[in-house]
Every structure is written in C-alpha cells, then in structure tokens.
C-alpha cells in the first residue's frame, strides 16, 4: 500500500448518447472501486443538460445493468470547460476534446491528458498515473519510464559534493543504479500510510494558521 492523497479526476465528455463516451462511462464505472482505493474521486463533466445525463445513464443501466457510481456535472454554459481549457476552438467552439485532469487534495492540477475525439481514454494508464503521482509525492522521489506499482523509484539527485560521493559509494555497494545521478530505491510508504497521511494533513493545517 502507498500513501493515498485525496484527488479529483475530471474527465470531460463530448455529449450524451455518444458511442465512445458510452464505452468510457462503462469502463470507468467498472474501475470506480480501484479509484476509491486510491482515495480518488471520479467526476464527469459535460456540456449537456442534467435531464440528458439522466436519460443516458438510465439507458446504460437498462442495456448493461451498470450503474454509474460517480457524479456528472452539467456544464451547459461551458464555463467550467473553458476555465480548464477543455474547449478546442480549432475543432469547434462548443465541442470538447477528451480531457483528463488529475487534481490533488489542495486543488492543484497534477496532470492533464488530452485525447482526440475519436479515441477513448485508457483507464489502466490513468490509474497508473494516479498511483505514480501519489508514490512520487509520498517518497519525495521521481518515477521512471514504464513504472508500474511496487517497482523501484528514482532517488532524488545529490545536492552537494559530499552527497554525490556518498551516492557513488552506495551505488557501488548496493548495485542499485547506473550512476550517482540515477539510482533507485523501493517505496518507503508501504506500511506507513496512516501515519504519513495524518502528518501531512497536520503540516498543511499548520501552514494555514
């Protein structure tokens, strides 16, 4: 288990009763438990009306038996979509490209993915990004290419000559990297989620006072 910061994952849909978006709703509904286990909330955003959403989600339920377990925001004016840059004016003044916004527990956008309108979003990759962000934040480290959960992460680079020499010695001794600027370690957050989580929240609250 890694530390699981609260987050909001926004995915913006083109419109109700569209084929690609329907497959995405089904896929994200099936994966909702995985996001919840990462303390991450799924939120849909659409420029269609609430009545249209209800009809569409009910139709999905009738056809598949799947209930969409997360809220869908009706952004009829497109105000929210424009604030987040989801409207692609080169394509349309009203239609959106497929966006993914991963937002942390203090409202900072941590990652943005943009898909073309004819390509559906990849749920496993989005889950990987969420866990990678949380793992990097928890360990004050970086994540290597093609990383998947429970694999080693990149140790922060040395800041002084003394730290550099110590890192060289460590890499030679433990064979845990390529050089002083690229070495690896296992996540330190596997069994300390509650303790670290509480401490980080306390630190944030102290900073506000």
Alpha helix segments (H runs only) across 4-68: 19-37, 50-64
Catalytic residue among 21, 41, 138, 161: 21
Cα separation values, 183 from 76, 133, 141, 166, 177, Å: 49, 19, 11, 12, 4
21 is catalytic: yes
What token pair was written down for 133? 């962000």
DSSP string, 144-181: -TT--TTS-EEPPPPSSHHHHHHHHHHHHHH--EEETT
Task: Determine the Cα–Cα distance for residues 10 and 27; give it in Å rounded to an integer.
Answer: 15
CB of 14 closer than 8 Å to CB of 95: yes
What token pair was written down for 118? 């004819």
List the catalytic residues. Answer: 21
């Amino acid at each position: 288990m890694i530390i699981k910061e609260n987050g909001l994952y926004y995915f913006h849909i083109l419109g109700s009763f569209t084929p690609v978006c329907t497959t995405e709703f089904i896929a994200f509904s099936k994966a909702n438990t995985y996001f919840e286990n990462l303390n991450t909330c799924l939120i849909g955003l659409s420029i269609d009306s609430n009545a249209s959403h209800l009809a569409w989600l009910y139709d999905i339920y009738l056809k598949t038996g799947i209930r969409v377990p997360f809220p869908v925001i009706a952004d009829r004016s497109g105000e929210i979509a424009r604030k987040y840059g989801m409207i692609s004016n080169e394509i349309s003044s009203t239609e959106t490209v497929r966006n993914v916004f991963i937002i942390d527990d203090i409202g900072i956008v941590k990652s943005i993915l943009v898909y073309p309108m004819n390509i559906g979003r990849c749920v496993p990759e989005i889950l990987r990004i969420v866990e990678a962000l949380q793992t990097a934040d928890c360990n004050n480290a970086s994540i290597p290419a093609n990383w998947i959960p429970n694999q080693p992460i990149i140790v922060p680079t040395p800041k002084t000559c003394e730290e550099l020499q110590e890192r060289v010695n460590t890499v030679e001794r433990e064979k845990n990297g390529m050089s002083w600027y690229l070495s690896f370690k296992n996540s330190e957050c596997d069994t300390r989620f509650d303790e670290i989580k509480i401490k980080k929240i306390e630190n944030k609250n102290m900073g506000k006072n």
